[in-house]
Amino acid sequence: MRYFKPLFLFLLSLIAVSCQKKKDFLISPVQTNYITSIQNATKTSQSYYMVTDIGHNGRNCPGCVLIEGQWVHINCQGPGNACRVSSNVSLYSSGNSAYIVTTDTFGLTNEDFFNMPSRSLFVEYDEKNNEVWLNIPAQLV
């Protein structure tokens, strides 16, 4: 019985440390915007998975989208970082421009339009270990 109390306290401390680590991991969101390739069977890809934070609180927004002459706030659209959204996209290039087309219907929104704020998404490191970024200008799609 005299060993029970120290053993119990030791196990309790292990559980507390273990729970603390899990809690820290679960509540710490990824802070970067990024795009990563989706590999196909031949390990070449034009398909990507895009993750970014967008949107802001409607109480502080006079309106982001003009609909029938009225400025309207749409949650999880426009500038800010209130919502974490993701979508599968395909990347096409033409001349000096690159185009992204979503391949999942409701990945970014279930509205008929999407107010995309300007974003720079981390892509990868090149052969010289330099960061490569994809810059997306603000646009109403």
What's the pTM? 0.64
Most confident of 9-23, 29-43, 98-112: 98-112
Residue 124: predicted pLDDT = 84
Residue 87: predicted pLDDT = 92
Backbone CA torsion sign across 125, 130, 131, 133: negative
Instruction: Provide, rounded to the nearest whole percent, the portion of the chain with pLDDT above 90.
Output: 15
Tens digit of pLDDT for each residue in 83-101? 999 999 888 878 888 788 8
Distance CA(126)–CA(44), nearest Å, equals: 16
Distance CA(65)–CA(99), nearest Å, equals: 23
Phi, psi of 29, rounded to the nearest 5 degrees: -75, 155
43 vs 5: which has the higher pLDDT: 43
Q: Per the structure block, which two tokens stand in for 7?
A: 């053993």
